[in-house]
Structure 1
């Protein structure tokens, strides 16, 4: 979110009455692009994408390419929520194959579902990348617009089928934001590898420069406080990207196979925010064609889980 897009997001004032269940517009966007090699390399460097398959894009790069399109859909009425301060709850990526960094892509974005959440409303945005008419990669992001409910729209929403379209995700399964605590207890297999990852102060601003996501919750303590957080937090898609870079690199070394043309999917829940600065541990458990990983940190001897990802390799 930068330049004119950021200004539009800051000024956008949706006309959504608290007693009415919001409705997502049916809008979608389509754009043809040539991947910018210089920008792609900047992104690769930011998320440590140096795997020996760096001729293809990072799985998370689709989100960066489509973010201006997502924002454009969120700054035009009748979109019912304020774009500034949205919280990224979950992300699902399906890879048929990873496009080359020199590719021409057709990008498409569309709204893909709405669900009631105890802290507000969760909506989904679907992004797709096509090469020569073939779907190469798609991603669905789930965003929480934090707001208070009243008994009227809560009861009406819970009596209505408002399930989000991806089967792996339910809005009440993700997290309880504000305090940001997980709602579900998941059984995680013992981890067979641990990698240390550092999230320094200022990484939110640095990643914003390359990703275009200038959400105030990532930029500084003061802008984050204005959005209800005690200090700046890392971008969820940065934490996922840096973890994927490490996990895919390790998987290539262990399995001795190339992954660029391999179908994969990554289902991620962002559970607790990563307050900056924080030193984290990436815990990885590998099985045949499936990898689970979790990003954690310790605060006052108490472990905090920040994200959890299930990765399936076809």
Structure 2
């Protein structure tokens, strides 16, 4: 993504109920049209960026994340972990009055992570996130959130999170990434009903669609669904001991994973990495497709 000449704001903390309220209000009938709540038009939006004060990677938080996602305890963080440090910045962008789409109802389509080297527990990191102008998609409009993590001036980790706002689309636009097949290997993970609440506790992502049947139904789901970034992390954890220290991992999120439920893990060796997948073990419906590259 090209560099953008936009104002960079500093996230100074906060979150929880106040952030969730700011995320939800623009999606509510009538309330979402009020001054100070109504989102700006996407026309003319060129971008927005946030940074946060230097943050030190804490052992307790890393270990809690590793337990929820299936990683072993190590002195370096799991590959997807820095997303935890960037998520408050993503929410700060989405709830900023200048950002033209409500956070609630915006769908996480794809995620790409590049780890340039392992990040050690205890390292001091500088984290920034930015988003550019909206891009066309067959089913609406997409926004690409780019995160960079530096340690002592060195770029050690980066990611692109692609979010979709459904609406009038462009049938000529790209529909997203294509991944090699990875058939199920016979491994099936049973996911508990409280997985979304547990992951929300370590990630800060308390979107109601992940928490309880009642809160999920209010937003159009039969019951709560797993976080997309948990499904990505669980797949990476299954491959963790076979991935190099410098690696890129891309995923596309397909059909939601309802909780409680089960998912079948698939994996296939490629010349330069692995293809992997998650699917419904009963009917084969795809939940996630991904692949890795050694750098």
Q: Does TM-score exceed 0.5, indicating one fold?
A: yes
Separation (CA, whole Å) in 2 of partners of 1:113 and 1:240:
26
The answer for unaligned runs of 5 or more in structure 1 is 164-169, 175-183, 253-258
* Offset of residue 289 of structure 1: 3.1
Where has structure 1 moved over 6 Å in runs of 4 or more? Answer: none
Q: Which moved more, 1:106-115 or 1:230-239?
A: 106-115
Contact 1:35 1:103 in 2 (8 A): yes
* Offset of residue 138 of structure 1: 0.5
Q: Which residue of 1 aligns with 2:6?
A: none
Equivalent positions of 1:135-154 (< 5 A) are 135-146=155-166, 148-149=167-168
Q: Which residue of 2 aligns with 1:63?
A: 83
Q: Which residue of 2 aligns with 1:87?
A: 107
Matched, 1:40 2:23: no
Equivalent positions of 1:93-108 (< 5 A) are 93-108=113-128
Q: Which residue of 2 aligns with 1:278?
A: 261
* Offset of residue 241 of structure 1: 0.5
Q: Which residue of 2 aligns with 1:15?
A: 39
Q: Which residue of 2 aligns with 1:188?
A: 181
* Offset of residue 278 of structure 1: 1.5
* Offset of residue 189 of structure 1: 5.5
Contact 1:294 1:308 in 2 (8 A): yes
Q: State the Cα RMSD in Å.
A: 2.3
Contact 2:50 2:92 in 1 (8 A): no
Q: Which residue of 2 aligns with 1:296?
A: 279
TM-score after normalising by structure 2: 0.83
TM-score after normalising by structure 1: 0.79
Separation (CA, whole Å) in 2 of partners of 1:89 and 1:270:
5
Matched, 1:173 2:195: no
Matched, 1:306 2:270: no
> Residue by residue, what CA displacement relative to the aligned partner does 1:178-209 show, whole Å, maximum 9, x if unpaired?
xxxxxx7x652666x44221222121111111
Equivalent positions of 1:120-269 (< 5 A) are 120-146=140-166, 148-149=167-168, 170=174, 172-173=175-176, 188=181, 193-249=185-241, 251=242, 259=244, 262-269=245-252
Is the partner of 1:285 in helix, strand or coil? strand
* Offset of residue 4 of structure 1: 2.6
Contact 1:85 1:216 in 2 (8 A): no
Equivalent positions of 1:112-127 (< 5 A) are 112-127=132-147
* Offset of residue 277 of structure 1: 1.5
> Residue by residue, what CA displacement relative to the aligned partner does 1:192-230 show, whole Å, maximum 9, x if unpaired?
x44221222121111111110011111122222222222
Contact 2:137 2:171 in 1 (8 A): no
Separation (CA, whole Å) in 1 of partners of 2:194 and 2:276:
25
Q: Which moved more, 1:231-240 or 1:68-77?
A: 68-77
